Amino acid sequence: MELWYTEKHTDTVDFSIKVKKHFYSEQSPFQHIDFFESEEFGTFFTLDGLMMVNEKDEFVYHDMITHVAMATNPDIKRVLVIGGGDGGTVRELTRYPHIEEIHMVEIDEMVVRACQSYLPITASKLDDPRVTLFFEDGLKFIHGKENVYDLILVDSTDPIGPGEGLFSEAFYTDCYTALSENGILINQHESPYYPSYAHEMKRSHTKIKKIFPISKVYQFHMPTYPSGHWLFGFASKKLDPVTDHKPEKWESFGLDTRYYNSDLHKACFALPTFVKRLLEE
């Protein structure tokens, strides 16, 4: 009998992947965690029935959450990852020898342990000596911290369940305070395509714009996320990701990246007209 994983992308659109096996299914104190094996996407896991990470397209997401900021401020030394339990964002950060400290605050230890067992492609660098793991709510963790990080990467779930507070104005204000003078905040910005996701994208962007003097949105292509068209937000106190982009310096690091490159860095900030209009409305 054929086995399919099906996820609801909207009330009238489903997305399905043929799977070979469904080999892990556990309820953590925060969410339901499932792992599957598939021919097309390799191993993948879902939280509360939503695709998080798969072996085939994870490089797109993890390149784009990490390297855009690193090529805007190549001197970043202290980084905080909020969420990111699969470890893919930390893996990309550990490729920079000059980064001194990486804190990762993940609310759900079970996600991390399961990824260490079943998804080594992303979780393999969580034991890097520069990495410290904190198992707590990122919202509480950041509150009251001042001038501690050069970069905060919010690698969260959607704005429902444990991730909801990570899309709030109070949280963005705490991130601003926790960042250094040249600090950068990158956050998961949902998709502009289907109205329910676009609504969340606009809400986050409006809140961030009130707090950070520089606030932009950039796009990338994730085949397994709703519509395949996904966004990150770039916010900072001083640095503009286009005019302060330092391609020569970034290229001197010699990183071999499969999705990100210096041309794409500039291009990903050039938004389609419908996205520009959504942001301006």
Point out the residues that are catalytic.
Answer: 155
Q: Which stretch binds ligand SAM (CB under 6 A): 11-19, 151-159, 204-212, 267-275?
A: 151-159
Binding status of residue 119 toward ligand SAM by CB under 6 A: no
Residue from the set 46, 54, 72, 157 that interacts with ligand SAM by CB under 6 A = 157
- Whole-number CA gyration radius for the chain: 18
Query: What is the distance between the alpha carbons of residues 229 and 272, in angstroms, rounded to a whole number?
Result: 11
- Should residue 41 be labelled a site residue for ligand SAM when binding is judged by CB under 6 A? no
Does residue number 93 form part of the binding site for ligand SAM (CB under 6 A)? no
Q: Does 87 bind ligand SAM (CB under 6 A)?
A: no
CB of 168 to ligand SAM, least distance (A): 10
Min. distance of Cβ 8 from ligand SAM in angstroms? 15
- Rule CB under 6 A: say whether 53 interacts with ligand SAM: yes
Total residues interacting with ligand SAM, rule: CB under 6 A: 26
Amino acid at position 147, single letter: N
Q: Is 31 annotated as a binding residue?
A: yes
226 is in an annotated binding site: no
> Is residue 85 at the binding interface for ligand SAM, with CB under 6 A as the rule?
yes
Report the residue number, 163 or 245, with the smaller CB distance to ligand SAM: 163
Contacts by 261-266, CB closer than 8 A, 24 or more apart: 262/71, 265/67, 265/68, 265/71, 265/241, 266/242
Per CB under 6 A, does 82 bind ligand SAM? yes
**Which amino acid, 82?**
I
- Burial of 145 from C-beta contacts in 10 A (0-12 / 13-18 / 19+): middle
- Would you count residue 183 as binding ligand SAM (CB under 6 A)? no
Contacts with ligand SAM, 162-181, as mask; x by CB under 6 A: xx-xx---------------
254 or 258: whose CB is closer to ligand SAM?
A: 258
Phi, psi of 34 (to 5 degrees): -130, 140
Residue nearer to ligand SAM on the CB measure, 43 or 157: 157
Q: Is 97 annotated as a binding residue?
A: no
Phi, psi of 36 (to 5 degrees): -130, 160
In the chain the first and final C-alpha atoms are separated, in Å, by: 49
Residue 107 interacts with ligand SAM (CB under 6 A)?
yes
Tell the smallest beta-carbon distance from residue 31 to ligand SAM (Å): 6
Residues near ligand SAM (CB under 6 A) are 30, 47, 52-53, 61, 82-86, 105-108, 111, 137-139, 155-157, 162-163, 165-166, 188
Binding-site residues sit at: 31, 62, 86, 106, 137-138, 155-158, 162
